[in-house]
Structure 1
Amino acid sequence: MGDATNSVASVFRPSPALSKVGPSAITRMTAATAELKRQGRQIASMHLGEPDFGTPGNIVEAAIRAMRAGDTHYTALDGTPEVKSAVQEKFSRENGIYFENDQIVVTSGAKMVLFSAFFATLNLGDEVILPAPYWVSYGDIVEMMGARAVVLPTDAQDGFKLRAEDLERAITPNTRWLLINSPSNPSGAIYRRSEYEPILDVIERHPHVWLMVDDMYEHIIFQDEPFVTPAQLRPDLQGRILTINGVSKAYAMTGWRIGYAGGPAPLMKAIKAVLSQSTSCPCSIAQAASAEALRGPQDSVRRYLGEYRVRRDLVITELSHCPDLKATEPDGTFYAFVDWRALFGKLTPRGETLSDDEDLCQYLLHDCGVSIVPGSAFGTPGFFRISFASSEAELRLGIARIREGCAALI
């Protein structure tokens, strides 16, 4: 049996599309954390971007009603009429954007919108501009398509936001997309109207460049200024803008796997072709629940936001007691992005040198019992990401361990 297994393994050839892609840093940290917990270690988990709240009851009840009504079959591949109508109403009510039915798709998670849009539009050698820090999956998905991720570093002093002049310099004849995530995972940065406008002016001057906007954290914002999205600001550019969102973060529905998007009809038609040969359709039950999430009472969203604000303030305050760490207060999301560069080159109590983000995260995990994500996974070495989508007790424990771990460095 062993020989046969080795023989099969020896002839396996992975696709060239996977040559530069592997499990994400978050996935690896999740697996490592789970293994340590299985061994009986108490780990303060601050790596996972998942709300610790339960899905609101009205949403769960909508799913139950759908099942009892027999809504357990295939749906249209881009979403049921009910959920697409709810998405249409959401865009109109909250963003002032109107999309026709054929300009909306509903998918099995917002990542599937990203994947399908890139699959449908990218050719070998095309370029996608990613302001860093960026969500870990963006670059890998682009590379899987045989395209090139063009990473544009941003600065903490600029609020981790792309500058129009840097965008202008980065655009080439091969540029196909600019991808902006606001509020940003991992930095928590939010683009205001005055910050979007110069960027949109650049996009307008380059008709071959399209804009993909990931608004997943739209409802987790701490600033008083209203949230804005590019298609709302520049209707004249809507023919080149894909606006992506979902129910995972705002409604604590990560496991329901529903994302949605609005954009130009020709692009959506191409996305639907990808969906027809991949996921076929999103889960019918999850679509019914998502329609209720978008149309129903929003009290839970406001309550969650209040909790996140308390946790954000706790995390930033506690981190301020770590003299070698510098945390930028996030305007949105439930993440803090922390600068640890003052600790580069220091030694752990076991004599190991901290030469990069991975070294720091492995030290804090195995020696101190706290899990975080290295900034290099987000295209920004010298930082790490903390998720404060956990209880206050977990956050206090985790930051105390980070503080102790940093103080123990030589």
Structure 2
Amino acid sequence: MTIPHEVRSYPFEMSERLMLDPLYSELRATESVCRVSLPFGEDGWLVTRFEYARVVLADPRFSRAASVDRDEPRLGRHQHNVGITTMDPPHHTRLRGLAAKALTARRVEELRLKTRETAQRLVEDLVRHDPPVDLVEHFALPFPIAVICELMGVPPEDRGRLRSWAEVILSTTGASPEEVGRQRLAMHDYLTELVARRRREPTDDLLGAMVLARDGEDRLTDDEMVLLAGAILTAGHETIATQIPNFVYVLLTTPRLIDRVRAAPDLLESTVEELMRSVPLTTVLAARYALEDVRLGDVVIRAGDPVVVSLASANMDEEVFCGASEIDPGRKHNPHLGFGHGSHHCIGAQLARMELQVALETLLRRLPGLRLGVEEDALEWKSGMLVRGLRSLPVGW
């Protein structure tokens, strides 16, 4: 006899700021695969443990492409079911492999000096204002869009439009489906023209490298380059723009942590990794659909069932991360899922790491007295977006 599962409303009631609801810890221990109902779409399964999260994200028995024809469980009214994020291997593998030939670790490192210059310029502009100054508006928002546009060769005069397109496209409740569609089309048309220019006039930026990327006789089509460029722009802008103030907030409200990093700058890289693990960015990943029956612990996921993964909960799994609730920049073993896992592991992970390292390095070095500019209870937090974070972060120095 099949025992019916309780269907919980999800997401759970949010704890204050960036804290996770205590129910996640309880579920990891007692019901790590449970039934949930999201605000939109069909009911599905929620995975909260690290072990099962890795299975769902990497096992080919779970499909993203199957979501295209389903009313997938989601937070917003409209489905984000276009582009490379809804592809499965081998098509996804082909596109990712060709893109990786252009977005190399060497290219990212070559951009580090320019990224430092951008960060320093923004901080110098920031300190010309009387504190408190909003770190989000004056640093966190313009910084990643400048870096990504530099990487892709987007002219400076067009960067404001790309930023506004990205913010609307990633909205869950703040924009209508019609508005999201209009902004997505506008960005698509712009990137189509940019790619066409690269065909006519080759450059040494990322889009120029994507034009030249080859695997034997295979290469990216114009449409594929537009899809990839759009994904890099939207995801790369919003996630970094959100995590910079999130990370700074955590540092400024954890004196022992910021003191340790200031005293040992060589811990900066490991601090970024630990903050990627411990700071919850997304509430839930896009659904994967089981292509056949799959057992996860005591639960059998039936073929056709959608599964959503909480990366934030998996990254707090005490069986994997000793002292998971503590932020430890000296953590030796840190296989976090902050950039995802499996075939859809963030293709821009090295770029994101570099940007976050440079941002924190510049802020802590140039502003040694950096502090919150308002009482902590007065801070404003985002709503209606796919990511969790601060709407503004007034700071002083």
Q: TM-score range by the shorter chain?
A: under 0.3
Q: Which structure dedicates a bigger proportion of its chain to strand?
A: 1
Normalised to the residue count of structure 2, the TM-score between the two structures is: 0.27
